[in-house]
Structure 1
Amino acid sequence: MPSSSKGDFDAIPILDVSAFREGDAGVKVIANELRDYLENIGFLYIKGHDVPRDSVEAVRAESRRFHALPLEEKLKLKMDRNFRGYIPINTSTIVTSSVAKVTKPNQSESLMLMHEVAADDPDALASKPLQGPNQWPAEDLRPGFRPVIETYVDQMNALGRQMMEAITIALGMPKGSIAPHFEKPTTFLRLLHYPTQREEDGLFGSAPHTDYGFITLLAQDDVGGLEVKNKAEEWIPAPPIPDTFVMNVGDILARWSNDVFVSTPHRVINRSCKERYSQPFFFDPSMDSLIEALPSCVSAQRPAKYEPVLYGDYLMERIDKNYQARGKSATAA
């Protein structure tokens, strides 16, 4: 499809990934369809995956119960220097957005759970960025919370790796060639709660933005509110579809692909008069991965557009600017 077709869409496509169960031949079939979607839209629904509905719903139920706790209990888990914990409403403003001038904080609260790193892990002891244990609700307040989350994270990691391999093939790279960058993936499971939204100009559940990382895999509840921007400046709804994840390209994948794949702006506005819960899972490279344009995405006609960058450096610049809890006092804590 010609480059002029990038961003020219009026609906989000659906990709059946059940062919993963057929091995390498199935991956190639998925990759062929995936490439078109990621080149021209950057968003799609995934169906036919192996993540059980019961697991998705169990995490959503735990998210609801967590956010129903008294604020003073949630604040006991307030985000720490390792970017793990509770993020209260009005404390996240996407000032690094490349698609809008954002000055007002998002109308959401969330619990951030990253890849688990033991307190005595060498990376944690060395105080490397984002390396430390998660903050978990007290067992007497939320019994069973941790095993439900850990089971789901394992399942989402498996799906993330499947999609990573399909993306590798879609970009014309050899099978397994980018897998070493995900030996110790940087992952985030964000349990988001969007209260019913006030009708006030300039307020969003999540302001227009692009995601930072490799791919996002989003499970929505039945409320809706996610919208994706096309090149005609129209906001296209991405309504909930049962048993699917919404997947989108993040900025680091766009950069890695030399902008062959597009990281598309999106936003959340909760106009439903109901509370909304979502659970995005962000599957990203290791913090020490050097990200530079892939050989298959560079040519004499298409020279590399970006300097190489360590993923960890790229990520921390954005996190530190967008979250109040990442201020100097928080990082020194």
Structure 2
Amino acid sequence: MAAQEETLLARCEIPIIDLAHIGTDTCPMRSVVRRIGQQLFAALSGKGLAMLVNHGITEEKLKAVYVDLDNFCALPEGCQSQYLKKPVSNHGYIRPGMEQFDSTKKELRHSFNITTLSAAAMPAEEEVPQFINHAEPLAKDLTNLSRVLLQALAYALGLPPATLLECHSGMLESDGKNPSTMRILYYPPVPPEDEGPCCQSDAVLYTRCGAHSDYGTFTLLAQDSEGGLEVKLHGSEKWEAVGHLPGAILVQTGELLAGWTTNLLPALMHRVVVPSGAYARARGRHCVEFFCHPDNDAKLPNLPPRAAPAPAPPTYTPHAHITLHHRLLNAAHHLHKRFRETYA
């Protein structure tokens, strides 16, 4: 029997934050939000990520969109093509190879970006029944969870609680002013040729997602139990397997928040690798991500001064246009630059 993979969760190295009794984004329990903000700030500044439990998003909602994406991937290629991602809106289907982080390997990944909840932008009912009916409530749940976390972060950063909400007011509003995105992902089984062909020069090397850091404020990630997610913790160059906590949602800092806080809340490099063992390699992997972004024209406020220990050497070097002191940030400039670097 294969040895069990050692993970950060198994070693109790990822903070777990309980969101029970926090209330809603429109009616939060202030004392709980303040406590969550302190815990979230400590987790993101110390580790760069945390696990959220008792967040209220059911496993059934996640499994429903996983099945819908599987059904979409089974459609004829010509049918899929009419839903390909639009460059301006970032909404739509991304075939394997369209988005590339690792130039040395073939990345095996299907994804469907949702930046608008308009039914006209979703797969038709006759092609993938219930797609919009499953995706819309999940997207709203993740948006509302993000709004609660933004209030918690504002408290922790010494800002009025509505400050970050105002900078993120347009999430999934369908008017193009905010690039926040819910992404449904399917990583298919790994082809057998990656297991070692006779001629090494003919080898096709695969990965599921190459190393990168996310671009926005923060990312929420719900994933199945198949594994493969690895991160470099703040100040470390070692790749560590994250592991799986049933029912939990992972939150990690994005580049904009890292730059705005002068890397006090670091954006971690992460990747999804092909698991070892024939059984695991022959299985698909599913997850849902929510990329929380500021509005395109958001001007992030100056942070109150705070005493802080010297940060560890960064694993992510903020882009120069983010780190210039006293400069008003335009979120759209940063996002468009990073998209140009990512998409073929």
Aligned partners of 1:213 and 1:56: how far apart in 2?
Answer: 23
8 Å CA contact 1:11, 1:236 repeated in 2: no
Instruction: Write out per-residue CA displacement over residues 200-235 of structure 1, whole angstroms, 9 at most, x where no aligned residue.
Output: 786421111110001111110121111111233222
Equivalent position of 1:166 in the other structure: 152
Does 2:276 correspond to 1:283? Answer: no
Runs of 4+ that moved beyond 6 A = none
- Among 205, 213, 217, the residue aligned to 2:208: 205
Letter in 1 for 2:229: L
SS of 2:68 mapped into structure 1: helix
Aligned partners of 2:249 and 2:222: how far apart in 1?
Answer: 5
Letter in 1 for 2:18: D
Aligned partners of 1:74 and 1:56: how far apart in 2?
Answer: 22
Aligned partners of 1:11 and 1:65: how far apart in 2?
Answer: 37
Aligned partners of 1:310 and 1:226: how far apart in 2?
Answer: 30
After TM superposition, the score normalised by the length of structure 1 is 0.80
- Cα distance change, pair 43–78 in 1 and its aligned pair in 2 (3 A): same
Q: CA RMSD in A?
A: 2.6
Aligned partners of 2:204 and 2:158: how far apart in 1?
Answer: 44
- Cα distance change, pair 138–39 in 1 and its aligned pair in 2 (3 A): same
Aligned partners of 1:250 and 1:270: how far apart in 2?
Answer: 24
Does 2:221 correspond to 1:218? Answer: yes
8 Å CA contact 2:66, 2:186 repeated in 1: no
Equivalent position of 2:315 in the other structure: none
Aligned partners of 1:34 and 1:85: how far apart in 2?
Answer: 31
Does 2:73 correspond to 1:61? Answer: no
- Cα distance change, pair 216–318 in 1 and its aligned pair in 2 (3 A): same
Aligned partners of 1:219 and 1:316: how far apart in 2?
Answer: 25
Aligned partners of 2:78 and 2:13: how far apart in 1?
Answer: 42
Aligned partners of 1:321 and 1:43: how far apart in 2?
Answer: 24
Shift of 1:108: 1.0
State how many pairs are aligned. Answer: 293
Stretch deviating more after TM superposition (138-147 or 16-25)? 16-25
Does 2:140 correspond to 1:154? Answer: yes
Does 2:35 correspond to 1:29? Answer: yes
Aligned partners of 1:159 and 1:107: how far apart in 2?
Answer: 29
Aligned partners of 1:298 and 1:103: how far apart in 2?
Answer: 42
8 Å CA contact 2:106, 2:205 repeated in 1: no
Shift of 1:166: 0.9
Instruction: Write out per-residue CA displacement over residues 126-178 of structure 1, whole angstroms, 9 at most, x where no aligned residue.
Output: xxxxxxx8731121111211121111111111100011111111222222122
Shift of 1:102: 4.5
Instruction: Write out per-residue CA displacement over residues 278-323 of structure 1, whole angstroms, 9 at most, x where no aligned residue.
Output: 1111111111112465234699x99x94343200111011112211
Give ranges in structure 1 of 5+ residues lacking alignment: 1-8, 95-100, 119-132, 325-333
Aligned partners of 2:138 and 2:130: how far apart in 1?
Answer: 13
After TM superposition, the score normalised by the length of structure 2 is 0.78
